[in-house]
Amino acid sequence: MVDVGMRFKLQQDIFGKRLPPERIRDLLVFELPRESSTLDAVLESFERTALPPCKNEASPRFLGFGDTGDDPAALAGGLLALFTQQNLINQSFDSPSATFVEIAVLRWLRDLLGYDNPPVADIRTVWDVGGVITHGGTTSNAAAMMLAREHKEPETMHGGVRNPGQFGVIVPRGIGHYSVKSSLTWIGVGDQAIEVDTRTFRYDLVELERAVRRHRGQIMAVIAYAGDSRTQTVEHLRRVHDVVRAIDPRIWLHVDACWGLVAAFSDQLRHLIDGISEFDSVTVDPHKVMAVPYSLSALLVREPSSLRAVSSYSDLIMQEDYAFGQVTPFIGTKGWLSLKLWMMMLSRGRAGLAALAEHRVNKARRFAALLDEHPRLLRLHEPDLAAVAFVYVPSDIRPEPPLPEQHIARINEVNQGIHERMLAEGTWYLHQFSLPDDHGRLRAGATLYPLRFMANNPRTTEAHMAQVIDYVTKLGGELEGDIR
Ligand SMILES: Cc1ncc(COP(=O)(O)O)c(C=O)c1O
């Protein structure tokens, strides 16, 4: 089984086989056979049918999302978590030591972000820890929104939402992650997002101040992104904090640092997240940036006891001091997700984490420099972390802003065509999404469909960067003739 996994990860290709979804459906969706099979036969069937179309994030040509989850210690931790089968819902009989490994990991993350940790001897309950491990950034953000709601109107957990209008949440327009807006609907306060204009992918602070004043009394939280989902631009956290607190100190301040956690590892990069420890809560996603396999996220809170506000009591979850099941909304049984991070962090140490962060950021800067040398490729932002978004500009368009609408439409069409062809061919992968032109590189405010390079893949070399640039340019050249 380990050999199958290793062969898969070490293959150069992203896909062993590229098939349309219906072909894969017809191959894999069948009735349960009556007869039993040997494990060998099941494994053989898996390798033949389900495995070849799988995406291999460890391919050096996969430049799509987060990292590849390939840290050897993290993989070992993931396997041992499967074998040991601990359940973090309770401590005494379900996870006698796993609970304390989880606590150690949460404290390491808190420390990196600059949150204070109490002395170990004072950790007497789960409410002294200041964080919880969850399955992903979406769950962590949803728990943060519950905290904000309880902070605004205590006991809403029990009494229900009475006046949804008081639970407004300020988010940056066009660059936020859907998980915050979706959470508001899941926790019953409705569509309460208040979008505020941005500049260079950060809040326009004048507009932010205006919005906080205008909606005074109706806002439960302000969300800031330390690395948004598109360009990974890191918000000026201290400035956002100061603007909001000066007007209304009771508003819950939440940072989504799913990507930005990486800046906490290095003395050279930490200035990017200056002010983060003044925020009430922070979401981090080690499965995006710490080379650990899916899935693993954490919600950390400045004031550990604040988690009491979203705790549940049940006679099924042990009412014991160290039962994490009491403080993890939406989650019952929970595997030992934190073991892979514990192993990864121990094996790398602080110096190794710093090296990982700096290597990625330097690689992103190098890719940005390659784009800047290229006459047909235009970079759309200054890279703070590992993401670099750019567009191919057809040869009949001079990229001098502001471009007319029809040029923007043509650039978008060609870049969407590039992405489509890339996806169909499966040799390289760059991500694509809609993005406001917040730096006005083509036309301020226009909606663009860029390609995005991510520098997180440790197997991607300088040669791969040059090759993907050639590939995009080749596809762009072919498509610009076709699309007129
Ligand atoms: C900024 C941000 N927040 C939250 C999430 C959600 O994380 P997850 O997919 O781990 O639930 C993402 C995912 O891409 C993200 O980019």
Q: Ligand 1 centre and the CA of 178: distance in Å? A: 8
**What pLDDT, on the 0 to 100 scale, is given for residue 462?**
96
Residue spans per domain, the chain: 86-334
Query: Counting atoms of ligand 1 from 1, which one is nearest the CA of 287?
Result: 10
Q: What is the model's pLDDT at position 483?
A: 67
Distance 66 CA to ligand 1 centre (A): 10
The answer to whether 224 touches 253, Cβ cutoff 8 Å, is yes
Residues 6+ away with beta carbon under 8 Å from 368: 379, 382, 383, 388
Nearest CA to ligand 1 atom 5: 137
Distance 146 CA to ligand 1 centre (A): 17
Q: Which two tokens stand for residue 284?
A: 């981090």
Instruction: Report the pLDDT value the prediction gives residue 484, as an integer from 0 to 100.
Output: 65
Measure 256 CA to ligand 1 centroid, in angstroms. Answer: 9
In this structure, whether the domain defined by 86-334 belongs to CATH 3.40.640.10 is answered with: yes
Which of 178, 258, 337 to mutate to test ligand 1, by most ligand atoms within 8 A of the CB atom?
258
Q: Per residue in 305-346, pLDDT tens?
A: 999 999 988 777 678 999 999 999 999 999 999 999 999 999
Q: Distance between CA 479 and CA 476 in Å, rounded?
A: 5
| Helix/strand/coil for 330 | coil
* Structure-token match 């904000």, residue found: 148
What is the structure's pLDDT at 65? Answer: 84
Going by their DSSP bridges, the two strands 281-284 and 252-256 should be labelled as: parallel
**Low-confidence residues of the chain, pLDDT below 50?**
none
Residue spans of alpha helices (H) in 12-128: 21-28, 39-45, 72-84, 98-113
Residue of 57, 65, 138, 233 to test ligand 1 pocket, by largest number of atoms within 8 Å of CB: 138
- Which atom of ligand 1 lies at the shortest distance from residue 285's CA? 10
Structure tokens, 429: 């992968």
256-315 pLDDT, tens digit each: 999 999 999 999 999 999 999 999 999 999 999 999 999 999 999 999 999 999 998 877
Q: Is 191 exposed, middle or buried (0-12, 13-18, 19+ CB in 10 A)?
A: exposed
* pLDDT tens string 65-103: 878 899 999 999 999 999 999 999 999 999 999 999 999
CA 228 to the chain's CA centroid: 8
Task: Specify the pLDDT at position 199.
Answer: 96
CA 228 to ligand 1: nearest atom: 1
Question: Helices 405-425 and 462-482: crossing angle, nearest 10°?
Answer: 120
- Residue 317 is predicted with a pLDDT of 67
- Locate the ligand 1 atom nearest the alpha carbon of residue 65 and give its number: 14
Distance 138 CA to ligand 1 centre (A): 6
Q: What is the pLDDT of residue 123?
A: 98
Q: How far is the CA of 177 from the centre of ligand 1 (A)?
A: 7
Helices (H), 172-303: 178-186, 205-214, 237-247, 286-289
Please tell me the distance from the alpha carbon of residue 462 to that of residue 465, in angstroms, as a whole number: 5
Residues lining ligand 1, Cβ inside 6 A:
136-138, 141, 177, 179, 225, 228-229, 256, 258-259, 285, 297
**What is the DSSP code (8-state) at residue 254?**
E
As a whole number of angstroms, the distance between CA 415 and CA 435 comes to 13
Closest atom of ligand 1 to CA, residue 227: 1
Cα-to-centroid distance, 466 and ligand 1 (Å): 29
What's the Rg (C-alpha) of the chain?
Answer: 24
Ligand 1 center to 176 CA (angstroms)? 10
Residue 476 Cα, ligand 1 centroid: separation in angstroms? 30
Write the residue with the smallest CA distance to atom 7 of ligand 1. 137
